[in-house]
Amino acid sequence: MLAALRAEVLEANLELVRRGLLLYTFGNASGLSREQGLVVIKPSGVPYEKMTPADMVIADLDGRVVEGSLRPSSDLPTHVALYRAFPSIGGVVHTHSRHATAWAQACREIPCFGTTHADYFHGPVPVTEPLTPAEIESGYEANTGMAIIRLMEGRDPLGCPAALVAGHAPFCWGESVTEAVHTAVIVEELAAMASETLAINPAAAPISHALRDRHHFRKHGPGAYYGQK
Ligand SMILES: [Zn+2]
């Protein structure tokens, strides 16, 4: 079932390794078939060099496994919460990449300091509120998803394709799992550039709304004119 999506999800997970965003088996990528309402996700704790498409686990949007002999990534409840809340997305990626995780641990949103950032995000990369002890003790992974969903109220998920979970790390998404990996790579770079910007000038300010809007909307939305689409 879902052979092409299994292959794409495996490839997405391997790309995270090639891009240096993962240590050991940290991190996970999933892809969604909207027609079938099924998620393909990496298995939990399997070394990347041994993973095959057949190892990918298929679950429904309630997080119930429907195909696969391995346990799914333990973050599956976060992934399905995001798929249910954001109808425009088809892929979710979670990493503990160093610079983005440092901002999450500092509980600071990543300001939009330049056009590289504005090409992808119409504003900062936001950070959630810390989870409460009750949210951590019961339904932790699903509650992580709910914290992201609350944070995203009033934002377009494709105009803000990632969030930092306070004290944890980034979750990124896109129209496909391949797009979500692309976002994860970009978020890591934006986080590193923002740290360097503040090291050079601790008083650096976000770019103007005019420059942000020009860069964001030439790539996104009805007036987009960047690239060959
Ligand atoms: Zn994590």
The 10s digit of each residue's pLDDT in 39-94 is 999 999 899 988 999 999 999 999 999 999 999 999 999 999 999 999 999 999 99
Separation of 25 CA from ligand 1 center, angstroms?
A: 11
The pLDDT tens digits for 92-113 are 999 999 999 999 999 999 999 9
For residue 226, indicate whether it is catalytic. Answer: yes
Q: Which residues, including other chains, have CB under 8 Å from residue 67's CB and lie 6 or more apart?
A: 1, 57, 58
For 26-30, what is the mean pLDDT? 93
- What would the DSSP string read from start to end of 106-165? TT--B---SHHHHTT-SS-B-BPPPPPHHHHHSSHHHHHHHHHHHHTTTS-TTTS-EEEP
Q: What is the per-residue pLDDT for 229?
A: 59
Separation of 115 CA from ligand 1 center, angstroms?
A: 28
The pLDDT tens digits for 138-169 are 999 999 999 999 999 999 999 999 999 999 99
- What would the DSSP string read from start to end of 55-111? G-EEEETTS-EEE-SSPB-TTHHHHHHHHHH-TT--EEEE---HHHHHHHHTT--B-
Residues that place a CB less than 5 A from ion ligand 1: 169
Q: What is the per-residue pLDDT for 196?
A: 98
Separation of 227 CA from ligand 1 center, angstroms?
A: 34
Asked if the model's pLDDT at residue 15 lies above 70, the reply is yes
SS3 state at 207: coil
Q: 226 vs 60, which has greater pLDDT? A: 60
Q: What is the per-residue pLDDT for 227?
A: 80
Torsion, Cα of 149, 155, 159, 161 (10° steps): -20
Asked if the model's pLDDT at residue 225 lies above 90, the reply is no
Q: What is the per-residue pLDDT for 63?
A: 97
For 160-187, what is the mean pLDDT? 98
Share of the chain above pLDDT 70, in %: 100
Q: Which of these is catalytic: 24, 119, 120, 156?
A: 119
